[in-house]
Amino acid sequence: MASHKILVVDDDQAIRILVHRFLTNQEYQVESAEDGKTALILFKEFQPDLVVLDINLPDTTGFQLCQEMQSYNDVLVLMLSSLCDEVAKVRAFQLGADDYLTKPFSLVELNARLKAILKRQRLLSPIKLERLVFGDLVINNVEKEVRFQHKIVSLTNLQFNLLFCMANQPGYVWSRSELCDKVFKGEDSHWFGSAKVCDVHISQIRKKIKSCGCDFEYIKTIIKVGYKFEAPV
């Protein structure tokens, strides 16, 4: 099996070289960039499976770059930043990031988080059901695409997996910890999935479905418990 391709984007040369060499030694295929312009060029040419992305870049921000990359495909993104406040973390997840690691960091933890992100993609891929239909909402697990009344609901990779997980068991009440374990973490993960992160993604899924003209709330909040997916009668 070919190794995963990772793009490292950081304007700090020391960190960029350190991470590049470390991941290469972990047998990943690695490319790196010091600014947003170079990163986008490499992104289109290299087509990485995952991007390790700094927030503070000389010509743009990691937030903006994450959005631009997500507009091309649902690439996996780990934000790597010295910004440790909750506002920055929540914004990163709202824009499609799969994980967030603050500087200073250990290479061992970085590798564990990367493995966890990539592993949960493998854990979710064997699901047998290929297409779920709930009225005007169609969830296509083969193409990783969601449509409402034929309009594409633009979800990130992680948001799609979260929606598909719940829709695969309509009526089942999921606690936030269950969803984190099932969708965000997978086995042996060191990812710091939390109830707040889960809530952010649920909120984004609801907004995106609603923006396509849907007035039915497919994901119901169960107070003090979590969420459930409910199909229209």
Model confidence at 111, pLDDT cuts 50, 70, 90, reads: very high
Q: Which residues contact 87 (CB under 8 A, 6 or more apart)?
A: none
How far are the Cα atoms of 78, 130, 220, 230 from residue 133, in angstroms, in the given order? Answer: 31, 10, 18, 12
HSE-up (13 A, CA, CB side) for residue 50: 26
> Which tokens sit at 171?
């009526």
Top-ranked range on mean pLDDT: pick from 13-27, 94-108, 116-130, 149-163: 13-27
Is 176's pLDDT higher than 70?
A: yes
Average pLDDT over residues 87-106: 91
Q: Domains of the chain (ranges plus CATH)?
A: 5-121 (3.40.50.2300), 131-229 (1.10.10.10)
Percent of the chain with pLDDT over 90: 57
Nearest to 97 by CA among 193, 168, 190, 215: 193
The predicted pLDDT at position 102 comes to 93
Q: What are phi and psi of 226, to 5 degrees?
A: 170, -125
The predicted pLDDT at position 106 comes to 95
> Which tokens sit at 92?
């990163």
* 180-226 per-position pLDDT tens digit: 877 765 433 444 456 778 889 999 999 999 999 999 999 999 998 89
Q: Which residues contact 2 (CB under 8 A, 6 or more apart)?
A: 29
Q: What is the pTM of this model?
A: 0.59
Is 125's pLDDT higher than 80?
A: no
Compute the mean pLDDT over every residue in the chain, rounded to the nearest whole number. 87
Q: pLDDT higher for 124 or 120?
A: 120
